[in-house]
Amino acid sequence: MSDTPNKRWKIWLSAAIVLISLIALAVWAVLSRKAELATAPGFTASPVAVHTVAAETGTLSLGLDYLAEAEATHTAEISTKVIETVQEVAVDEGDRVAAGGLLVRLDTSEIDARLNGVAADIRKASAEREAEQANQEALTYSVDHWTREVSRLRQLRNQRAVSQADLDAARNQLNQIEGQLEVSRQQLKALRAGLDALRARQEQLKSQRANYVLNAPFAGTVTARTIDPGDESAPGKMLIRLESLQTMRLVFGVPEEDRPSVEAGRTVDFFLSGTSHQATVNRINPALDAAGLARAEVDLAEGMALPPGAEIPVTVALPSLKAVLIPAGALAGGGEEPTVYVVIDGKAQARSVSVRRRDNKGQVAVSGVQSGEQVIVSPYLGWTRLSDGVSVTEIGQ
367 inside domain: yes
Decide if 367 contacts 354 (C-beta within 8 A).
Answer: yes
Q: How many domains does the chain have?
A: 4
Contact criterion met (CB below 8 Å) for 144 and 124: no
The CATH number linked to 303 is 2.40.30.170
Q: Which of 320, 345, 377 is the last residue of a domain?
A: 320
State how far the Cα of 42 lies from the Cα of 50, in Å rounded to an integer.
Answer: 25
Q: Are 250 and 372 in the same domain?
A: no
Q: Is the pLDDT of residue 297 over 60?
A: yes
Residue 346 in domain: yes
The values of phi and psi at residue 160, to 5°, are 60, 30
CATH of the domain at 338: 2.40.420.20
Task: Based on the fold, state whether residues 343 and 302 are members of the same structural domain.
Answer: no
Same domain for 124 and 196? yes
Q: For the segment 117-163, what is each residue's pLDDT rounded down to a tens digit?
A: 999 999 999 999 999 999 999 999 999 999 999 999 999 989 988 89
In this structure, is residue 41 part of a structural domain? no
Beta bridge partners of 278: 269
Q: Are 190 and 141 contained in the same domain?
A: yes
The answer to whether the CB of 326 falls within 8 A of the CB of 52 is no
- Say which CATH number the domain at 89 has: 2.40.50.100
Could you say which of 277, 292, 320 is where a domain stops?
A: 320
Read off the pLDDT of each residue in 204-219 and give the average, rounded to a whole number: 91
Question: Sheet holding 339-344: strands in order across?
Answer: 347-352, 339-344, 374-379, 48-54, 392-394
- Is there a domain that residue 20 lies in? no
Residue-averaged pLDDT of the chain? 86
Q: What whole-number distance in Å separates Cα of residue 213 and Cα of residue 63?
A: 50
pLDDT at 73: 86
Percent of the chain whose pLDDT exceeds 90: 50
Mark whether 155 and 271 lie in a shared domain. no
Domain that includes residue 283, residue range: 66-74+244-320
Asked if residue 207 and residue 122 are part of one domain, the reply reads yes
Residue 228 has pLDDT above 50, yes or no: yes
Half-sphere exposure of 372 (CA within 13 A, CB side): 0
Average pLDDT, integer, range 297-318: 89
Alpha helices per DSSP H over the chain: 3-39, 109-158, 164-210
123 shares its domain with 207: yes
Whether residue 239 contacts residue 216, with contact meaning beta carbons closer than 8 Å, is answered with no
What pLDDT was estimated at residue 5? 64
User: Is the backbone of residue 160 left (phi > 0), alpha (psi -120 to 50) or beta?
Assistant: left
Q: Is the pLDDT of residue 15 over 70?
A: no
Above 50 in pLDDT, residue 12? Answer: yes
Q: Flag whether pLDDT at 195 surpasses 90.
A: yes
365 forms bridges with which residues in the sheet?
Answer: 325, 357
Residue 38 lies in a domain: no
Do the beta carbons of residue 60 and residue 359 sit within 8 Å? Answer: yes
pTM here? Answer: 0.50
Q: Are residues 187 and 302 in the same domain?
A: no
Q: Is 44 contained in some domain?
A: no
Last residue of some domain: 163, 193, 211?
211
Residue 103 lies in a domain: yes
Residue 358 and residue 281 in one domain: no
First to last CA, the chain: 95
What does the pLDDT average to over 240-247? Answer: 88
Which candidate, 393, 377, 285, places its Cα nearest to that of 325?
377
8 A C-beta contact, residue 53 and residue 377 = yes
- Closest C-alpha among 320, 331, 318 to residue 368: 331
User: Does residue 9 lie within any of the structural domains?
Assistant: no
pLDDT one-digit tens code per residue, 76-112: 999 998 899 999 999 999 899 999 999 999 999 999 9
User: Do 354 and 369 belong together in one domain?
Assistant: yes
Do 85 and 144 share a structural domain?
no
Same domain for 253 and 310?
yes
